[in-house]
Structure 1
């Protein structure tokens, strides 16, 4: 019995699932061959020489998602999701959105799919500019629409011609002046992807004549960066309003902002001087994971790396200093001054600042400007509690490069939920209900979640709420008004919630807060 063709195959410009898979295979091959040439053309948005690698890696991530599938109709969507999750760099994220558009209209034929790809790509970029991969996909879709013969071979060839023309034109009409005379690497990469489609549909045409690579000059690559760091991470969030706000927040922090995907998985990209702030913004929108931070500015480091944090109790100071970091003692919950951060960083060539509260984050951000002006590579991590600092410090590895350590420690902060047990000094209304002066408050990630009369009960309730969201390690830091008996009661409650949880108890000695809790 003959196989019934899928819906796309019944249209003159429709692709079969087999043709789509072959297109991806050929795209990966052509991009792999062109990778170094594309890297040499990388000027915009920052001349970091990785556009070819990023687009190729993104396509490879989507290709890997297809590896275990033998299905037909869902292949484009499966590829698009794999590309989204594995996207690398600005051009890689946009490429993932081009394929998301193709997947959305795959059954409607190649013309409709390319038009959807154009729409999806342009919507992804907060501040789009011409002369880029965006112009190339627009030109490809326009040429496909204008193609008189609506069969898939002619439509594919028309789309390739449009991208080919746009890529060449990008050297004459660049997104930024310093890119004049250089083919845009992202546009050129899309030309290679569409060339792969033509070669699959019309093998006799292979290989299509490509565009000669135009390596950027040293002068072009010396343009000012649009941020010290490229920050990328995946975000798990079902709150589209918070995701929309994240786009706005990131736009205020940097440039080349991309927040793409759909509920519940989003890919986030930004160029910024505030790597920690970019991750912190994501933490307010959902759960951040797979953090990757890359330095975009040229920097030659030699000498020491210094991790600097704050201890608000003598016991915490002892534990932190034993881990080999520089500690600013801020007992009695006093605010850490800007000069203290600067003084602690003096003489270091690489500096990582780990605040212990919101006020400390503010002064660390101010100090960061001076520390960088003094010639150090530096970043502020988005920590808000000593327990987050402890989680990050545990991953610090002197043998690893700055970018790798910054990414790993930042992700550790993002994954460490924190809580503070405090006593209300006055009555007020909280999200957990009304509280009176003297009531015990359990604040999780800064929000009041528990109000009670008994310290032990409030502490146990807070730990139960935290572990209800998962976690294998509970850190308990005993402070003024706490005690070992209280910590052990919380530990027992935690193990009743999760028998496999590991509990670490530290006598921190911090004022005002009987307990600090951390869950990883």
Structure 2
């Protein structure tokens, strides 16, 4: 059967790449030594792909909103992917990855069927798919154009980097015979071999004993492409970890996944085909870690510039806008693909889920936060923006820390509206100012990245070329450390008096739960049905909390990578953040109940983690179709009772199924039962279940909350 390249393949690829980068993010950060050892390459790549995935999902949402069953055309999907990566690109590697995706899009979107040679009739134009040999040839040429465009975007290409890996992938793809799967797999294998050779091409990698971090991220993305077109996981090691990591300041140790007492060990089933991983809006799989996210990046209408400052671990980030408008971007939706940590495979338990798209504006994920101290002022004039110091909390490889360095002091990134001619002049000006110059984009919109000593001159060059906005300036450590240690730094006393000591940020699905958590003093992020928040939304919540120390409770296993990326961003802004990997709202409630801001941070985190881990969680759902589950075959309309993510009971009524669940959970012991009623569920259900526990289980207390969550009738927690 010929494999197809179509819009769904693009969407699946983005979802799989985001999941894979989420898993690899910390490891890639740890081996980041070139061009600057600031330990953020994995995080930057994750955020870049997250933006691409949101843009692709926005196209699908637009068609779903008008009940278009055929969905978007292939060219629309690949253009959205490239545009999303461009506007969301972060760091050197993220900017290069955006250009790689843009290069692929130039080829794949050249004709309605994406092949550049295929038919362009009404059917091909409407559906936009490429099959068999056409798909293979289109992919070969796309990978070649991607590598070429990346080299063109970098002012002074260096071998042993992501550029080398991209070129090797294109070479291997060009020599591969067979269909799209064979071409994608050859590109992946070629990239892996090139990645392994990078320490021999770049001395800084050899001294650190690591492979190139950006190249490692690209191999991860290409592995996801293989999985998207074939349904088979690309296996094999991707990156060599450093033998030892040096840290310049203490940071909370990672908290291991929570395991409730008495929960049985589970083995995750084999990965499902990508098409199965992404459940439809009308039939989402329980425990599959899937959902969609929508957001509207700011259209950038004329606003008065404001100064927003943030102090972080190794540099100073400055964000601002010049000009009167930024390009508009539509709503964005992301579907995370693949099984979640519970081991439940997509499609195991089809249930009704809320699907209304969210039409609310989302804060830009790279916005700046309040600052604890003013940074050193860069030379030259800067539009009003905010500074941020990277470094101390970042991982660094032995011998390559993020401290004082001989290279330029600042990283400058901004989006730019300008003509091709103006950008050509801009390249020359920026090349004379510094190094690591990468300018990607086209069609009037560009992403500019450069390392310089004169940040003001770099931004002024953008002003002369066109309209720069989303300006981000990062100071590489040395001057930032001096600024932090200088007594009486502007804004320091104000921040010490205004910033709270500690806060809790929690993600909840209903207004009742939101009100409950706010009453307990938490900063709340409300997750709408099937719409988990983006990493930027979590970072914004950390900023709103305005505290020196923050505990983050995601309350959803599917948010583990998104939350981890948000934590890295917040730490880079100088906030001490601990992530407790709560998998359900009832675990979050248990953790919040023992939160004591007056005790030491580490002690508080341990106590909250222990409370969450001691809470087993369950929930009810209604099956939408016949399906095989771990408890047997369910029919449409059956009530499914799930314990710790696994279907344990199949019943006919909410009350009866919940009672069986409670008895099973309490059979292993328990002191407190928490019941959270969903939207539209009568109070009688809570009263009945409370009486059931009181009659059948002595010395067990029950508390009932009206959570208001729209898609889950009942949440149960047993401590």
1:37-436 aligned within 5 A: 37-70=27-60, 71-73=72-74, 74-106=76-108, 107-108=114-115, 109-147=138-176, 149-174=177-202, 176=204, 181-203=209-231, 205-206=232-233, 208-215=235-242, 217-221=397-401, 224-238=405-419, 240-298=420-478, 299-300=480-481, 301-302=484-485, 303-306=487-490
Cα deviation code 1:246-284 (max 9, x no counterpart): 111111111101122113211111111111111011111
Q: Secondary structure at the match of 1:260?
A: strand
Q: Distance in 1 between matches of 2:192 and 2:205?
A: 21
What residue in structure 1 maps to residue 18 of structure 2? 28
Q: Secondary structure at the match of 2:472?
A: strand
Structure 1 residue 306: deviation in Å?
A: 4.7
Question: Larger Cα Rg: Structure 1 or Structure 2?
Answer: 1
Q: Secondary structure at the match of 2:411?
A: strand
Q: Distance in 2 between matches of 1:202 and 1:281?
A: 46
Specify every segment of 5 or more residues in structure 2 that has no aligned partner in the other structure, as ranges.
61-71, 109-113, 116-137, 243-395, 495-545, 549-569, 575-719
Structure 1 residue 72: deviation in Å?
A: 2.2
Are the equivalent residues in 1 in contact too, given 2:162–2:215 (CA < 8 A)? Answer: yes
Q: Distance in 1 between matches of 2:153 and 2:409?
A: 22
Q: Secondary structure at the match of 2:407?
A: coil
Change (3 A) 1:110 1:36: same
Change (3 A) 1:178 1:275: farther
Q: Distance in 2 between matches of 1:162 and 1:24?
A: 21
Q: Secondary structure at the match of 1:143?
A: helix
The structure whose residues are more often helix, as a share, is 1
Change (3 A) 1:255 1:85: same
Q: Which of 1 and 2 has higher RCO (CA within 8 Å, sep 6+)?
A: 2
Q: Secondary structure at the match of 1:206?
A: coil
Structure 1 residue 176: deviation in Å?
A: 4.0
Q: Distance in 2 between matches of 1:43 and 1:55?
A: 15
Cα deviation code 1:275-316 (max 9, x no counterpart): 111101111111111111112234422223359xxxxxxxxx
Q: Distance in 2 between matches of 1:13 and 1:113?
A: 17
Q: Secondary structure at the match of 1:170?
A: helix
What residue in structure 1 maps to residue 277 of structure 2? none
Q: Distance in 2 between matches of 1:266 and 1:212?
A: 31
Specify every segment of 5 or more residues in structure 1 that has no aligned partner in the other structure, as ranges.
1-8, 308-323, 325-397, 406-520
Q: Secondary structure at the match of 2:451?
A: strand
Structure 1 residue 207: deviation in Å?
A: 5.3
Q: Distance in 2 between matches of 1:292 and 1:212?
A: 29
What residue in structure 1 maps to residue 360 of structure 2? none
Compute the TM-score of the two structures, normalised by the length of structure 1. Answer: 0.55
Compute the TM-score of the two structures, normalised by the length of structure 2. Answer: 0.40
Q: Distance in 2 between matches of 1:176 and 1:129?
A: 12
Cα deviation code 1:390-422 (max 9, x no counterpart): xxxxxxxx9999x989xxxxxxxxxxxxxxxxx
Q: Distance in 2 between matches of 1:294 and 1:133?
A: 22
Are the equivalent residues in 1 in contact too, given 2:37–2:397 (CA < 8 A)? Answer: no
Deviates more, 1:99-108 or 1:127-136: 99-108
Change (3 A) 1:304 1:273: farther
Give the number of equivalent residue pairs. 302
Are the equivalent residues in 2 in contact too, given 1:199–1:208 (CA < 8 A)? Answer: no
Q: Distance in 2 between matches of 1:225 and 1:209?
A: 37
